[in-house]
Each structure stands twice: as C-alpha cells, then as structure tokens.
Amino acid sequence: MLARIPLVDLKAQYRSIKAEIDAAIQRVVDRTEFILGGEVGTFERNFAAYLGAHEVVGIASGSAALQLALLACGIRHGDEVITPSFTFVATAEAIIHAGARPVFVDIDPATYNLDPNQVEAAITPRTRAILPVHLYGQSAEMAALSDMAERRELWLIEDAAQAHGAEYCGKRCGTLGHLACFSFYPGKNLGAYGDAGAVTGNDPTLMARVRKLRDHGRSGKYVHDDLGFGERLDALQAAVLDVKLRYLESWVERRRAHARMYNAMLADCEVNTPPEADGVRHAYCLYVIRTADRDYVMATLRERGVGASIHYPVPVHQQPVMRKLGYDGARLPVTERVCQEVLSLPLYPELEQSQIEYIVGVIRECVQ
C-alpha cells in the first residue's frame, strides 16, 4: 500500500481540537464583531504572556508585520537593511516596500542563519537595521547581533515567522530585538485559518506606532494623523489563534520529539541532520536535512507518497524580481550551495513513529 504522508497535515490538527475551534468561530459570528475588538485584544494579551513580551499587535499577515515594523523604526528611502537571502521572499520584499535597500549577507552553513562575522563587514553609513530570520524555527545568533546593533546604533528586527516557541538563552524568540514579526500562515507552528501575523516588542513608543500604522494612522475614530494601512488582524483569526495558542507548547514538544527521532534514525546515514546550537531551543517549524543527492531523494520520496519539499530552492537575491530591481549583486557561496542540498521532510505534531520509520526507510534506499 502506498503511504500518503503530507509535509504538513492541517486536517489532523483540526480534528484534534474541532469542538473548541468550531465554538470559537461560532462565538465571533454570533457577536458579529469582526474587526479588532475583544477577540483580537484577548489573543494579543495571551500571546504576549506566552512570549514574555511587553506587547503584541495583531497584523493581517507576517509580510505586513515586517513592513509595519520597519516603518515604525523610521526605515525609509536611502536606508540599507542587512538581511539573509536564504529565506522566504517576504523578508526582502518588506524592506523594499519600506523604501530601503536589502543588503544580503551569507549564512552559517550549520544553522542556516545570518553569519554575524559577515554582518559587521556589510555595515555602511547608510545601514539602519539588521533583520535576521530565525530560519526553520532555530534562533539566529542574537547575542552577537545585539552587540553589533547596540555598538553601531542600528535597529534589530527579528523575522520570527518560523519561530513560535523557539528560545535563545532562556528567552523566547520574539523578545530578542527592538521589534519582532510573526506570521500565522496556516502551515506555521501557530497557524490561523487564513492570513494573519503580529508584531511583538517591549518598547511602548514603537508598539504604539505599529498599532497606529495597522489601522490607517488613526488616533481617534475620524482622526488620521499619520499615513497608515488597513493591515489589522481580523477577529475570526484571533479567535482561532487563541484556541490554538493553548496547545502550542505541547505541539512544539512533539515537533522536537519527532526531530530527535528523525535525527537518531538518520544518524549513520549519508545526510546532514539539523543541529541544535548551544543555548537554543529549536522549534522545528520545518525539519530540514541536507544531501548532495537532494533532487533524487525528493523525487523518490514523492513517488512513494511522501510530501517532501524545498525551503528554498532559489535564494532571494537570485529571484527574477531582485535581478530586475538590481539587488542581485551579492556573492553568497554558502546560500547558493545550500539551496541545492536542503530537503524538508514531513513534520507536524500528529505525525506517527511508523510514518517517520517509513520516510527514513525510503531515504536509506536512496543514499545508503
């Protein structure tokens, strides 16, 4: 019998909490309070408490969260923002939408995160911010980046879109920079039933700016004293997220247990398993191995019903749009090599041991 193991199984998760989710959705519909209001406020407070952050502002998506965070820091035309190219395109897009120039810096080949040693060399008089990504759910090297940001008076903004539940030296990702941006895209560790995101932070002045920017620069019902956006988190998504937030810790623990199982079963196999850096709690938004035979392994897994996938096959600086805009000049040898070798395997809390055994069995046939 052919196995069918998707990369992410959102149906299995819904089945496990159906009654609570359905009740939350019904409550919003009964109240017909769809924009901001109590549901959004409740989720913002609960997510802030979970993170240990001073404040959370719910935003319509992770992409919008990145853009509003940059604008709240005053990033504008002529500025440069240092960021990795090995990420989802939204990170660089937000920088460009804010009017600034993304300066792509290479990654550490072990963690796939921004290499702090190369960040310093990329700082120019125009640099205003560093925007690291906690890729796959593993924190970037925040101590080195914080030091540098402080010394050079730069903003430090986390792209925590993949890092719900991740920690760095005992603190949660989302509390480590001046601001942090989360996505609640359905497949993320904490996923909504549509688009959703948040900005988190500890500075009340910055957070007030984000709050204003998300709702048309409003300071009163009919008073708009800044140019803003319509990028609010909607009440239905907030209600769903607030239910799912109660399960986040147990889900992250199960992701970590599955990752340990994969690591152990693949230990004597010719593939690189993801290392967990010292002092870091990896949240395994994605479980990513590396192998020189990536395309063959992926094709074989897919033939056998396993939804393996690639994050990311093309680095951002080599995307056609970046070429068009003239941001393709960087030479990033690690990023460019790793894109050819990474392979994401199915990982979600409801995944079963027998399924991991099956997936590893197929990989072993391919690479010995």
User: Which residues of this protein are in contact with ligand PLP, per CB under 6 A?
Assistant: 61-63, 87-88, 90-91, 133, 159, 161-162, 183, 185, 195, 197
Closest to ligand PLP by CB, 97 vs 364, is: 97
CA-CA distance, 213 to 70, in Å (whole number)? 11
Closest to ligand PLP by CB, 286 vs 356, is: 286
Least distance from ligand PLP to the Cβ atom of residue 358, Å: 27
Least distance from ligand PLP to the Cβ atom of residue 41, Å: 21
What Rg do the C-alpha atoms of the chain give, in angstroms?
20
Q: With the CA atoms of 293, 297, 300 and 301 taken in that order, what torsion angle do they form, in degrees rounded to the nearest 10? A: -170
Least distance from ligand PLP to the Cβ atom of residue 157, Å: 12
Closest to ligand PLP by CB, 236 vs 362, is: 236
Could you write out the DSSP letters of every residue in 185-250? -TTSSS--SS--EEEEES-HHHHHHHHHHHBTTEEETTEE-S---B-BPBHHHHHHHHHHHHHHHH
Least distance from ligand PLP to the Cβ atom of residue 271, Å: 23
Least distance from ligand PLP to the Cβ atom of residue 81, Å: 14
Closest to ligand PLP by CB, 119 vs 161, is: 161
Least distance from ligand PLP to the Cβ atom of residue 151, Å: 26
H or E element at residue 259: helix 235-265
Reading the block at residue 270, the tokens are 């010719």
Torsion 270-117-315-248 (CA) sign: positive
Least distance from ligand PLP to the Cβ atom of residue 291, Å: 22
Least distance from ligand PLP to the Cβ atom of residue 214, Å: 14
Per-residue buried b or exposed e for 12-33, using 16+ beta carbons within 10 Å of the residue's own CB: ebeeeeeeebeebeeebeeeee
CA-CA distance, 196 to 228, in Å (whole number)? 18
Are 54 and 202 in contact, with CB atoms under 8 Å apart?
A: yes
Closest to ligand PLP by CB, 197 vs 315, is: 197
CA-CA distance, 214 to 10, in Å (whole number)? 28
Which of 146, 128, 23 is CA-nearest to residue 82? 128
Closest to ligand PLP by CB, 38 vs 186, is: 186
Closest to ligand PLP by CB, 238 vs 360, is: 238
Closest to ligand PLP by CB, 90 vs 266, is: 90
Least distance from ligand PLP to the Cβ atom of residue 180, Å: 11
Closest to ligand PLP by CB, 233 vs 265, is: 233
Reading the block at residue 368, the tokens are 């010995």
Least distance from ligand PLP to the Cβ atom of residue 181, Å: 7
Give the count of beta carbons closer than 10 Å to the beta carbon of residue 324. Answer: 9
SS3 state of residue 143: helix
CB-based closest residue to ligand PLP: 62
Closest to ligand PLP by CB, 185 vs 262, is: 185
- Length of the chain in terms of residues written: 368
Per-residue buried b or exposed e for 126-156, using 16+ beta carbons within 10 Å of the residue's own CB: ebbbbbbbbbbbbbbbbeebbebbeeeebbb
